[in-house]
Amino acid sequence: MKKQMICISCPIGCMLDVEYEGKELISVTGYSCPRGKTYAETEISNPQRVITSTVKLEGGKHPVVSVKSNAPIDKALIFDCMKEINKVTVKAPVKIGDVVLPNVLGTGVDIVATSEDSGNE
C-alpha cells in the first residue's frame, strides 16, 4: 500500500511518500532529515504522540499548571491518559520538570510539569 503523509517532527512538515505492508514499512521518500524516516516507521507500526495538558494546582497563583508526557505515548492511549491526568492534583510550589504522575498507565512514561508556580505568598 502507498500513501502520503506529512512528517510532524518539526515545522518544516516534509511530505513523505510511504510504501507499507500492514504495519511494516517498505520504503519512504521525501524526508529531509533522519527524523522523517523514523516518523514514517512509527507512524505505520505504532503511531505515538506527546500529550500536553494541565493538572489541578492547590495553593498556586493559578488554579492549574501545565504538563506534558516526557516521551511520546501510543496514540490509542491518548484519551485514557487524559483521564488519568485529570485525576491529578498537585500542591504548589511546582517547578518545570517535576513529575506529577509517574509511569502513566504503565507505559513507563512520566507526566511532568512544564511551567512553574511558586505559589501564593
CA distance linking residue 29 with residue 1, whole number of Å: 14
Q: How many Å separate Cα 3 from the centre of its chain?
A: 24
Residues in touch with other proteins (CB under 8 A): 5-8, 10-11, 13, 15, 49-54, 56, 62-64, 66-68, 75, 78-79, 82, 96, 114-116
Whether 110 and 103 have beta carbons less than 8 Å apart is answered as yes
Closest approach of Cβ 19 to other proteins, in Å? Answer: 19
The nearer residue to other proteins, 96 or 99, going by C-beta atoms, is 96
The nearer residue to other proteins, 16 or 20, going by C-beta atoms, is 16
Closest approach of Cβ 3 to other proteins, in Å? Answer: 12
Closest approach of Cβ 115 to other proteins, in Å? Answer: 3
3-state secondary structure 63-104: CEEEEEECCCEEHHHHHHHHHHHCCCEEECCECCCCEEECCH
The nearer residue to other proteins, 10 or 99, going by C-beta atoms, is 10
